[in-house]
Amino acid sequence: MKRFFSVIILAALIAAAGTDAFAQFGVNVSYMNSNTWTRSNAGGEPAKMNTNGFAVGIDHNIRIVGNILSIQPGIYYQHLLKSEDIAEISGLAARDTYMENYLAVPVYLKVGFNILPKNILRLYVFAGPTFEVGLMASNRISVNGSLLGQNVDGEISYNYYSGKIKSSSEEFNSLAENYFQTDGQGQYGRFDIMLGGGVGLQVVRFLDIKVGYDYGLVNRLKGTLAENATANRGQFYVGVGIRL
């Protein structure tokens, strides 16, 4: 675990360094689509959970061989969300909201070449690992409306890292424990190493457009859950940025 943190800190320091004359600083925002596949060791079809969101962050393009080969480390904040109505009975509505936040540190090897001269239009490909730390993963059920003449308004939530369950009132405590059935245990580990890459275009030196995909190599499940099943996350993204 210490080695994992050391790699993240080293990559972050490289990304923050701005004194290299051959380094180019970038600011990026991306749309993200993430899928988590959970597979039982007993076999059968894997369960799939889909979330959508965005990533925002900075990177550095550090040239190694002229204008062709470079290393591009970065630091990104990722926000993923899935929200849907799960019940609506006679004026009583319930909504399920699942949310995840990550700190991601990609370290890509990048190869590019000019399509049009003088860097007016460049095509590049990139590949490498992304080190991810889960900041939050929670499931919240909110209920509001009226039932049998009584107003109902409250929510319950579960933290997938700590295993803690919260409810808005004592009346919702038993509902929370029965719904999540976790025995106070967290289900997810916080750390993942993703491997992936993509392709991009750099237009008139400063506008950056890219498409990529990463796949997590680490089983997200922990404890006794990890003994019986595996869960891995894959993420597709489309980004737009500017290079300074």
Assign 205 to helix, strand or coil. Answer: coil
pLDDT of residue 66: 82
**pLDDT band at 149, cuts 50/70/90?**
low
What percent of the chain has pLDDT above 70?
A: 77
> Per residue in 112-132, pLDDT tens?
999 998 888 999 999 999 999
**pLDDT band at 236, cuts 50/70/90?**
very high
pLDDT of residue 233: 96
> Per residue in 166-193, pLDDT tens?
876 665 665 656 666 666 678 899 999 9
Is residue 224 over pLDDT 90? no
> Per residue in 52-66, pLDDT tens?
999 999 999 998 988
* Selection from 50, 40, 75, 47 nearest residue 60 by Cα: 75
Average pLDDT, the chain: 84
pLDDT of residue 21: 43
Sign, CA dihedral 126-129-135-141, equals positive
For residue 5, the surrounding DSSP H or E stretch is helix 2-16
Other CB atoms closer than 10 Å to residue 156's CB: what's the count? 22
pLDDT of residue 93: 76
Torsion angle in degrees (nearest 10) through CA of 6, 186, 136, 12: 10
Other CB atoms closer than 10 Å to residue 224's CB: what's the count? 9
Q: Is the pTM of this model over 0.85?
A: no
How many angstroms from the chain centroid is the CA of residue 92? 33
pLDDT of residue 92: 66
Is residue 2 over pLDDT 70? no
**Mean pLDDT of all residues in 11-40:** 73
Is residue 206 over pLDDT 50? yes
